[in-house]
Structure 1
Amino acid sequence: MQNVGPDAGRNVAGLRLPVVGSVVATGQVGLPFTVVDAAGRAVEPISEFVREMVAGDMPDSSCRSYAYDLLRWWRFLAAIEVEWDRAQRVDVRDLVLWLRHARNPQRTRTRLGAPTPGSVNTRTGKRHLAEGYAPRTINHQLSVLKQFYDFHLGAGRGPVVNPVPAATRGGTRPGAHGNPLHEFVPHRRGAYRQKVPEQAPRVVDDALWNELFAAMTSHRDRAILATYISSAARASELLGMRCDDLDFGRQTISVVGKGTCTRQTIPASPDAFVWIRLYLAEGHVAPVEEPLPADAPLWVTLRGPRKPLSYWAMRAVLNRANDRLGANITLHDLRHTCASRMMADPNMAITDVQAVLRHKSLTTTGMYGTVQLDELINRTLEHHARRAAPPPPRPHPAYNAADLAVLFGEQAG
């Protein structure tokens, strides 16, 4: 299918992206990930862009995410038969239209009894992932393409004009400091940017948390969950810990923060350190009689050769517990739960919670102070019960009911 003008239109409903190419880890310095074509050759425009991102101190995880977005774009260009350096705004528009209605292959569930995509879980009140691409995914795709074409435009390659519109109307960055001499202009979404619905923090109530913790089958898994729920660490941060990241004296842990290369210290609960001690006493990390190797991974597999516990392996542990409980709890839900618990404590200042969560803005931390739906329902029902009118007083039995009816009407009886 050849490129078409904006008036001709393109049938994106029946578009099928060819499953060619892949994202590979190169092991090269300055190029952790790249995209290869069907013949296994590196796609050089993407490799150059990734090198630029690495030079700008972008973490490897972000490079991998960017590579997958660019792989999707390369497959879309192959489906519409357009070269990457000939792409136009209409092609980006059609990509967005396709993403809005296509099925996300990562949402495919073949297991019998799997929940319907987009349905609400009765235990948690949280929706299961829909089968399509989320608005955040589409916006991330556009942001990656915008940076990709900006980079090549600066090098004199690619289209004359960036085919991806700016993120905002007028081209200014959202939240950027404005000139006080100019009139304030409200932020407006850029073309093709999707509306992202506001979501309340996903909090696990105490009863369900107790059931989840009881469903764990090893000290390692109990230690991980106890550390998640008390430290509010992100999933990848906690799983990347080393043995020397534990401080039993101060009861703190150290993690490499999201988007940073520095280790950040955060407190955890005494219970978490008790479970960690029980896990280490089993000798999975190192023999019990030997000291812990400082640079060894803290969380390792329990069966087979010893290797670091991956995110997908820990997610499988949680999913097995979810199947037994009929829930859909994620590791990130535990971060939300910890934050909401601390915000509900009157002895915890919001700046303390911000420091634990390592947020740059208090506005982000403030969302955990919102009232949860279950709490709102209970308080509202209690309010209505207090406001209910008391029943009228019953007359003394010594009064004649017929006389009362004559004086005050039938209701007096």
Structure 2
Amino acid sequence: MSASGSELPAIIERFLDSLTHARGRSPQTVRAYASDLAALLRFATNRGARRAEDIDLELLRAWLWDAQASGRSRATLSRRASSVRSFVRWCVEEGVMPSDAANRLRGPKAATHLPRVLGADTVRELLAVLETNVRESADPLALRDRAIVELLYASALRVSELVGVDVDDIDFSRRTVRVIGKGQKERVVPLGAPAATAAMDWVERGRPTVLAQAGIESPSPALFIGRRGARIGTRGVYRLIAGLLGEEVGSGQLGPHTFRHTAATHLLDGGADLRAVQEMLGHASLGTTQLYTHVSSARLREVYRQAHPRA
């Protein structure tokens, strides 16, 4: 494709389409790229840059400076820099741009925050609450809620992975669950015995009751469904976990990822190999998994400070 025909809006649309169909990026990732590139398009258009070849390093740096002056966070600036580097690199590969104008573009480093992690006793107490709900409630969704939390903690799943699990993805004999992670990468993750039992109880007792109450004869293949029989969404899981953790003290976001962080940290605390944890979490980079070693070290230092007489 010649550079003269490279109008920015059309090129951005082509790039976003390639993310979805050629690279298999998730809808959430594509939306983030679309938002960042829409901001770049507005800025570039105001500067008179309407074609891809009009984008140069000076314009990109001015765009980031403008966003910073507008109060954008370091995390947002770093993400925008990463998005535009990917976009420009793709443009060069497609012959839309003659050279990589964004190769030297750097956003500020995002501040590193240690993830929120629950103590083992706290996790046991939360699961005990869900167990009590199962025994005392006539609502079949109590079985579902217990199974959701058990799977999040036992297998360290992302919430998007959890809601995508189908009934057939669980192998109860081997105690594993098949999930589709980022980049449409498939992995098989182990289940603990309590999680497998909770999932089995939901599949055999809770799920059929919900489907019968909803009058559904041809059910969704989804493992976790709502009261009307449709696959539960990420928002439903967030509401469940936020309600469960709402009274827990501490810093950091409250949500399904809390159990993912907690599972990873507890595995490392228990002596699990870092690369095994990386594989279980589905991290492309070992460096991402290493964040949890910092959490483990921080917990160790706090225990030392409280317990050692010469701390």
Same topology, TM > 0.5: yes
Q: Which has a greater percent of helix?
A: 2
Q: Which amino acid aligns with 2:50?
A: E
Contact 2:78–2:109, Cα closer than 8 Å, also in 1:
no
Contact 2:211–2:219, Cα closer than 8 Å, also in 1:
no
Matched, 1:331 2:256: yes
1:44 aligned counterpart, secondary structure: helix
Matched, 1:52 2:18: yes
Relative distance call for 1:151 and 1:266 in structure 2 (3 A) is closer
Offset at residue 208 of structure 1 (A): 3.5
Q: Which amino acid aligns with 2:107?
A: R
Q: What is the alpha-carbon distance in structure 1 between the residues aligned to residue 120 and residue 162 of structure 2?
A: 22
Matched, 1:220 2:144: yes
Matched, 1:143 2:90: no
Relative distance call for 1:98 and 1:285 in structure 2 (3 A) is farther
Q: What is the alpha-carbon distance in structure 1 between the residues aligned to residue 74 and residue 129 of structure 2?
A: 31
Matched, 1:75 2:42: yes
Report the equivalent of 1:236: 160
RMSD across aligned positions (CA): 3.3
Q: Which amino acid aligns with 1:203?
A: V
Question: Is there any run of 5+ residues in structure 2 with no aligned partner, and where?
Answer: 1-7, 134-141
- TM (norm. structure 1) is 0.59
Q: What is the alpha-carbon distance in structure 1 between the residues aligned to residue 93 and residue 276 of structure 2?
A: 43
Task: Report which structure shows greater RCO (CA 8 Å, sep ≥6).
Answer: 2
Contact 2:150–2:198, Cα closer than 8 Å, also in 1:
yes
Matched, 1:90 2:58: yes
Match of 1:319 among 218, 234, 242: 242
Report the equivalent of 2:304: 379
Contact 1:240–1:255, Cα closer than 8 Å, also in 2:
yes
Offset at residue 268 of structure 1 (A): 1.1
Matches within 5 A, 1:3-402: 43-54=9-20, 56-61=22-27, 62-78=29-45, 82-85=49-52, 86-102=54-70, 132-135=72-75, 137-153=76-92, 157=96, 162-164=100-102, 166=103, 190-210=104-124, 212-213=126-127, 218-261=142-185, 263-280=186-203, 281-282=205-206, 283=208, 286-287=211-212, 296-302=221-227, 305-325=228-248, 328-346=253-271, 348-360=272-284, 362-370=286-294, 371-383=296-308, 385=309, 387=310
Q: What is the alpha-carbon distance in structure 2 between the residues aligned to residue 87 and residue 360 of structure 1?
A: 31
Relative distance call for 1:365 and 1:192 in structure 2 (3 A) is closer
Offset at residue 253 of structure 1 (A): 0.9
Q: What is the alpha-carbon distance in structure 1 between the residues aligned to residue 190 and residue 166 of structure 2?
A: 16
Relative distance call for 1:192 and 1:349 in structure 2 (3 A) is closer
1:278 aligned counterpart, secondary structure: helix
1:340 aligned counterpart, secondary structure: helix
Relative distance call for 1:227 and 1:156 in structure 2 (3 A) is closer
* Aligned length, in residue pairs: 284
User: Identity of aligned pairs, percent?
Assistant: 23
Offset at residue 276 of structure 1 (A): 1.9
Q: What is the alpha-carbon distance in structure 1 between the residues aligned to residue 129 and residue 38 of structure 2?
A: 39
* Structure exhibiting the larger radius of gyration computed from Cα positions: 1
2:231 aligned counterpart, secondary structure: coil
Question: Is there any run of 5+ residues in structure 1 with no aligned partner, and where?
Answer: 1-41, 104-131, 167-189, 389-413
Q: What is the alpha-carbon distance in structure 2 between the residues aligned to residue 98 and residue 211 of structure 1?
A: 48
Offset at residue 298 of structure 1 (A): 1.0
Contact 1:88–1:163, Cα closer than 8 Å, also in 2:
yes
Q: What is the alpha-carbon distance in structure 2 between the residues aligned to residue 278 and residue 356 of structure 1?
A: 24
1:266 aligned counterpart, secondary structure: strand
Relative distance call for 1:337 and 1:260 in structure 2 (3 A) is same
Relative distance call for 1:364 and 1:64 in structure 2 (3 A) is closer
2:226 aligned counterpart, secondary structure: coil
